[in-house]
Amino acid sequence: MGKKKSIVLMVLLTIVIVILCAITVIPTFPIGVKDWNPVVMQNDFGADVNGGYYAYYYPKGIISETDYKNLDADKQEEYSSHKGLYFKNDTSLGVCVKNSDGTYSISEQFKEEFEATKNLIVSRYEKKGYSDFSVAVVDDYALKVQLPKSATLDVPGMDYQTTAFNTIGLFAEIGELELKQADKVIEERNDYEVNELIKKFSVITRYDYAWIKVEFTEVGKTMIKEFRESASTDTLNLYLGDIENPLMQISATEHVTTRNTVEYALRPVADIAYVETMVILLNSSLNVDASKYVAFEDIQQSDVCEYEAVHGENTLILLYVALAVITVGLIAFSIVKMGGFGVASAYSSVSYLIVVAMFYAFVSKGVFEFTLGSALAYVLGLVLMNVLNVHVYNAIKAEFALGKTVESSVKGGYRKTIWNMVDVYAVLLLGSITLLIGAAGLATFAWQAIICVVMGAFCNLLWTRVINVMLLSASKNKYKYFRFVREDDDDE
């Protein structure tokens, strides 16, 4: 490549990289009425770096200490305390029993029902597949659920708190499923339970919509077939517990397929998370016998508390500062260690930063969150890329020591190291793909590791070499570029 051509290309490349780097990392600042947000601030973040939401589930008849203290004195007398909770002295609620001395205490039956309810709530959140969540028992008879902010996907027209509330509110519903047609309960009419008619609920996507698909048992298929063939104008309504409005209003002509399933479009595909939550709720309610569980007080949106990162609001900023220092440190190390080749390696490091940041933010946005695992994958990928560049440099140096020209040494060095690098990256790629088997956070980490591995391989196998060719062509002294010294040069 000619010298002038190389210089022009390098200048253009440098300008592009500087611009992209600026778009990626320049911190937030106001522009008019809006804020400029760099790429790195547009990720979905895990709770460990960006906080999340929590809410309490109180069984009906039980209130918190805060609510108790807000009651008038005469109202307070209607309650008894258990640790930090207060329960109403009303045995009809099924929470307490009256003792022989006139006091009230929690009943054994309520304890059993609460335990079963706790397990049901836990299973719902586990099935949701959050990388970061917790369910805790508060004072023995209330629950606290905690979700990362990334659980609240960016749904058009909704704020994050609304989407968090949707999940928290839906999962608090405890009740039995009921199928009704024109106010007649289907299962009672035929003396069946709902779980004897419906096998399972699932999510499908079609025509940019997220649908609930209902599969029926053999008995249920007969029932739904009759419904479809009747072409009734009444809808078949699915109710859950105390919720007034039906969750699904199934039309005989619109929703029942010829395969005797029901396919019900619920939300646009951007809000698929809501539909998935609904499906988990419905599946977990199929076998619920309301008499064996406790019902919770309705959750209002104002009951959901949004919190910042537990270890301080600066957790994310400090983490990014650390990553920036690491990146700059590795760039400086490359240049000091390898001279001109180190500059090529530095370009690769910056390219790696830009592409990985963009992939994290835009390709995986709404699907994966940026967590500590993401930072670890980035750091280890960047370190490996620089170490392999040093490996190539040492191979080039060894070739040069045999008396070859600089160009031959570069070719020879790459020839001798390329398969080692291919093996390392192939093993990493295969390993990252297998980690997709892991659920939730581990699958997220695997996807991000794949991004880092592919970009690292591109940088080591191709990009560094291309930039090196351009820089070498543009350099005045090829020996000085690589910091090589020839014996005859010493004589001079």
Instruction: Please list every residue from 281 through 310 that binds other proteins, using CB under 8 A.
Output: 300-310
> Please, what is the minimum distance in Å from the beta carbon of residue 12 to other proteins?
31
Rounded CA gap, 201 and 213, in Å?
A: 6
CB 348, CB 464: distance < 8 Å: yes
Q: Mask of contacts with other proteins, 214-253, x by CB under 8 A?
A: ----------------------------------------
Rounded CA gap, 10 and 100, in Å?
A: 90
Pick 182 or 318: Cβ nearer other proteins: 318
CB 435, CB 449: distance < 8 Å: yes
> Please, what is the minimum distance in Å from the beta carbon of residue 373 to other proteins?
3
For 43-66, the DSSP string reads: SEE-HHHH-EEEEEE-BTTEEEHH
> Please, what is the minimum distance in Å from the beta carbon of residue 26 to other proteins?
19
- Among 93, 158, 335, 383, interactor with other proteins by CB under 8 A: 383
**Which region, judged by CB under 8 A, interacts with other proteins, from 128-136, 149-157, 268-276, 467-475?**
128-136
Q: Which of 270, 279, 275, 276 is nearest to 214 (CA)?
A: 279
* Interacting residues with other proteins between 320 and 339 (CB under 8 A): 321-323, 325-326, 329-330, 333
- Among 117, 166, 284, 315, interactor with other proteins by CB under 8 A: 315
The reply on whether position 27 binds other proteins by CB under 8 A is no
The reply on whether position 477 binds other proteins by CB under 8 A is no
Neighbours of 87 (CB within 10 A): 23
Pick 125 or 341: Cβ nearer other proteins: 125
Q: Kind and range of the H or E element at 124?
A: helix 108-128
Pick 263 or 308: Cβ nearer other proteins: 308
Q: Mask of contacts with other proteins, 88-127, x by CB under 8 A?
A: ------------------------------x---x--xxx
Residue 159, sorted as left (phi over 0), alpha (psi -120 to 50) or beta, turns out to be: beta
CB 43, CB 370: distance < 8 Å: yes
- Helix, strand, or coil here: 416? helix
Q: Which of 352, 356, 354 is nearest to 334 (CA)?
A: 352
Pick 17 or 326: Cβ nearer other proteins: 326
> Please, what is the minimum distance in Å from the beta carbon of residue 318 to other proteins?
5
**Which region, judged by CB under 8 A, interacts with other proteins, from 21-29, 94-102, 191-199, 417-425?**
417-425
* Interacting residues with other proteins between 140 and 179 (CB under 8 A): 140, 143-144
CB 92, CB 116: distance < 8 Å: no
Rounded CA gap, 117 and 291, in Å?
A: 11
Number of residues that bind other proteins (CB under 8 A): 95
Pick 266 or 376: Cβ nearer other proteins: 376
Pick 28 or 300: Cβ nearer other proteins: 300
Give phi and psi for 215, each to the nearest 5.
-105, 135
Rounded CA gap, 406 and 412, in Å?
A: 10
> Please, what is the minimum distance in Å from the beta carbon of residue 110 to other proteins?
17
Q: Which of 353, 343, 336 is nearest to 468 (CA)?
A: 343
- Tokens encoding 220: 């249920």
The reply on whether position 138 binds other proteins by CB under 8 A is yes
> Please, what is the minimum distance in Å from the beta carbon of residue 359 to other proteins?
17
Helix runs in 297-339, H state only: 315-338
- Among 243, 269, 332, 430, interactor with other proteins by CB under 8 A: 430
> Please, what is the minimum distance in Å from the beta carbon of residue 125 to other proteins?
7
Rounded CA gap, 166 and 158, in Å?
A: 11
> Could you give the angle at which helices 464-474 and 406-434 cross, rounded to 10 degrees?
160
* Interacting residues with other proteins between 70 and 89 (CB under 8 A): 70, 83-85
The reply on whether position 458 binds other proteins by CB under 8 A is no
Pick 68 or 479: Cβ nearer other proteins: 68
What length is written for the chain? 492
> Please, what is the minimum distance in Å from the beta carbon of residue 376 to other proteins?
6
- Among 25, 198, 331, 375, interactor with other proteins by CB under 8 A: 375
In angstroms and rounded to an integer, the radius of gyration of the C-alpha atoms of the chain is 31
The reply on whether position 41 binds other proteins by CB under 8 A is no
Q: Residue 35's Cα: distance from chain center in Å?
A: 25
- Among 226, 420, 485, 489, interactor with other proteins by CB under 8 A: 420
> Please, what is the minimum distance in Å from the beta carbon of residue 111 to other proteins?
14
Return the amino acid letter for 362: F
Q: Provide the total of helices (H) and of strands (E) in the chain, helices listed first.
A: 18, 20
> Please, what is the minimum distance in Å from the beta carbon of residue 142 to other proteins?
8
- Among 76, 314, 405, 477, interactor with other proteins by CB under 8 A: 314
- Tokens encoding 446: 């695997």
**Which region, judged by CB under 8 A, interacts with other proteins, from 181-189, 198-206, 221-229, 439-447?**
439-447
- Tokens encoding 447: 């996807």
